[in-house]
Chains A and B, each alone.
Chain A
Amino acid sequence: MSSSVPHAKPGGRAAAGAARAASPSIIVIGVGMKMRGDGGFGAAVIEALRAYPAVVDRVRLAACDGEPARMIDLWQGYRCALVLDAVRGGSERHGFVYRRELDPEVGDFGAQPGGTSHAVGLGAAARLAHVMDRLPGRLILYAVHGRDFRLGAPLSGPVAQAVPELAARIGREVLGALAAAAAGAGKPAKGG
């Protein structure tokens, strides 16, 4: 996925030359909930992305609790799915954002930076979807290393700081991908 489209910014209409798909080919899924500290990271990034009209017009934004069947249902049929979640455990790199892309042959993310903060985790959902042939064309995980997952806690400082940074990065990434897809003649907008 290219990161070469510089026009993705809040309030701006980006990628003017890109073909607008009849239905989105990319879905961004924010896993988590605001009232659970850094577990609300995914939902917060989705909210931040809503400030990018160019993204809102071309990409489906969804919130999810991380339950595998619901995740599979959401991403099935999309050319690309980006999943945003929080992880904990391991190192002390709070606020650091990991990016992992699923190996489509293996159907597994391999070693994850830590347990995700929801349900059985993205890994289990991906493995089940792989067996059931319900993976999207590409599945990419963005996971922030969270610090505070207590109920009622706000996003911790480092994680809150990562929200706008990741929203901007995703904006660039998806709009770049759409522009690249539009440049490649006749590629289907949607399909596994």
Chain B
Amino acid sequence: MTSRQERLLEVGSLARVEGEGALHLVLDRGRVTEARLNIYEPPRFFEAFLRGRSYTEVPDITARACEMCPVAYQLSACRAIEDAFGVSVGPDVRSLRRLLYCGEWIENHALHIHLLHAPDFLGYPDATELAKDHRAVVARGLALKKTGNDLVELVGGRAIHPVNVRVGGFHRAPPRSELDDFKNRLDDALEAAVLTVRWVAGFEFPDFQTPHALLTLDDPGPKGGARSGGGPRYPIDAGDGVITTAGIGFPLEDFEHFVSETQVAHSTALHARLRGVGTYLTGPLARYNLAGPRLWPVAADAARSAGLGRVERNPFRSVLVRAVELVQAVAEARAIIESYTPPDPPAAAIRPRAGRGYGATEAPRGLLYHRYDLDEQGVITAARIVPPTAQNQAAMEADLRLVAQAGAQLTDAQLTARCEQAIRNYDPCVSCSTHFLRLHRDERRHRHLDPAGS
């Protein structure tokens, strides 16, 4: 006979509009047989909503797909539409875009490290309790976050849902004087970011190795000599191809051939798989493993000092990689401002034409892919958006099975906390809720019946 007992371990008050996370674990005689993570993601709505809209509206509409990474949505969209129209933007626009993107990385990573993930590692229930004992550290996180927010606002015109981005470039290029005022703040931020790496390096990381393939955008860097900083770059705002640890790489236009998405019953997010390979992860761990040699010396030194090896497959150490990427983003932002030339004009000329275009960038939590079909007037006829959280979800579930199995003996509260910590490794959109997880543990206990039936 099989008896089935379902226990609701925690029902958080989360009602975050991006979605609500729920994890359903099935245990059979102490063995975790199933881990189903239910995450709602909104891009499907936006794919439909964009149809019939002019290309000029796309940056502002897609910015609303995610409140945590609007710049990623805007710039992936711009790159896809420019690809369809055959537009190439100049080096000054590219630099300003990278600066804007660095701002988004700084604010996202600072938030994630200090306020969301650090409490897990240090044994605090949330950032408020952490702040009671580590006030200066939380203050540093808030200051870094504010630097990122203000940089996005300075370049993007607004801290949330930036309004200065358009296909081809920007509506307005900030003058040098506005950016020069930011140099000192970035100098302070660089110091704070390096301290953050040292702090995170002292965390105790559960021993775990993810078996999945890793996938990231490949940015060969701008062509055009020293001024444009030629050569491969750490993937942030640009890239024309995809590289993986599975030994395959492909141009962006083949993304949907190599990455298949399937519907699963328990989630509205599609599950992505790499053709011929299976589950994969995108995000900081993938970027570091595949593009680590492209980090700038200040970030590479920080990584080395923190004990990161050339290969790093422990997702619990992705928080450390995020700290290293924080150093990279701050250093790059500082350098871009130092050599900044306002793009003139601020945007390339656009002549709509019928066609299909592909664009991708590296959102803080992983590769964000857009594809658009447009008619000769520049009206969207089809849209496809593949966000990083959906790409990671199947691998997250597989990893969660292993993590939950290792912690099957834990109390309900402990297991919930461990699973939350594990899910935050991948920084899904829902993870910015401190307690976002609704964990169901479904225990199936098998008992042998007495043959006599007594």
> Are B149 and A128 touching (Cβ within 8 A)?
no
> Are A69 and B432 touching (Cβ within 8 A)?
no
> Are B64 and A35 touching (Cβ within 8 A)?
yes
List B contacts of A65 (CB < 8 A).
67, 160
**A178–B128 CA distance with the chains assembled, in angstroms:** 32
Which of B134-142, B210-218, B314-322, B417-425 interfaces with chain A?
B134-142
Contact A69-B115, Cβ < 8 Å, known A116-B15, A120-B434, A132-B142: yes
List A contacts of B381 (CB < 8 A).
none
The smallest C-beta distance from A192 to any residue of chain B, in angstroms, reads 16
| CB-contacts of B128-160 with A (<8 A) | 128, 131-132, 135, 138-139, 141-142, 145-146, 149, 159-160
The residue on A at minimum CB distance from B146 is: A73
Contact with B along A9-36 (1 / 0, CB 8 A): 0000000000000000000000011011
> Are A132 and B138 touching (Cβ within 8 A)?
yes
Q: Which of B13, B135, B139, B432 contacts A67, CB < 8 Å?
A: B432
The residue on A at minimum CB distance from B15 is: A115
> Are B160 and A70 touching (Cβ within 8 A)?
yes
The smallest C-beta distance from B20 to any residue of chain A, in angstroms, reads 10
**A151–B45 CA distance with the chains assembled, in angstroms:** 7
Contact with B along A128-168 (1 / 0, CB 8 A): 10111000000000000000010110000000000000000
Contact A152-B49, Cβ < 8 Å, known A64-B160, A131-B131: yes
The residue on A at minimum CB distance from B16 is: A119
Contact A73-B432, Cβ < 8 Å, known A33-B64, A128-B131: no
> Are B433 and A119 touching (Cβ within 8 A)?
yes
Pick the most buried of B131, B139, B142, B434: most chain A CB atoms within 10 A of its CB: B142
The residue on B at minimum CB distance from A88 is: B15
For the side of the interface on B, what is the size category?
20 to 34
A72 within 8 A of B: yes
Number of inter-chain CB pairs below 8 Å:
87
Question: Interface on chain B toward A: helix, strand, loop, or mixed SS?
Answer: helix
> Are A73 and B149 touching (Cβ within 8 A)?
yes
The smallest C-beta distance from A153 to any residue of chain B, in angstroms, reads 10
Contact with A along B339-375 (1 / 0, CB 8 A): 0000000000000000000000000000000000000
The smallest C-beta distance from A78 to any residue of chain B, in angstroms, reads 16
> Are B17 and A124 touching (Cβ within 8 A)?
no
| CB-contacts of A84-124 with B (<8 A) | 87-89, 112, 114-121, 124
B83 within 8 A of A: no
The residue on B at minimum CB distance from A116 is: B15
> Are B160 and A89 touching (Cβ within 8 A)?
no
Name 7 extra pairs, CB < 8 A, besides A39-B17, A128-B138. A67-B67, A69-B115, A69-B142, A69-B149, A73-B149, A128-B115, A132-B135
3 closest residue pairs by CB, A with B: A115-B15, A115-B13, A65-B67
Give chain B's interface residues, CB within 8 Å of chain A: 13-17, 42, 45, 49, 64, 67-68, 111, 115, 126-128, 131-132, 135, 138-139, 141-142, 145-146, 149, 159-161, 432-434
Instruction: Jot down 16 A-B pairs with beta carbons below 8 A, ordered by A.
Output: A36-B17, A39-B17, A63-B160, A70-B145, A70-B149, A70-B160, A73-B149, A89-B15, A119-B67, A119-B433, A120-B432, A124-B126, A124-B434, A131-B128, A132-B138, A151-B42
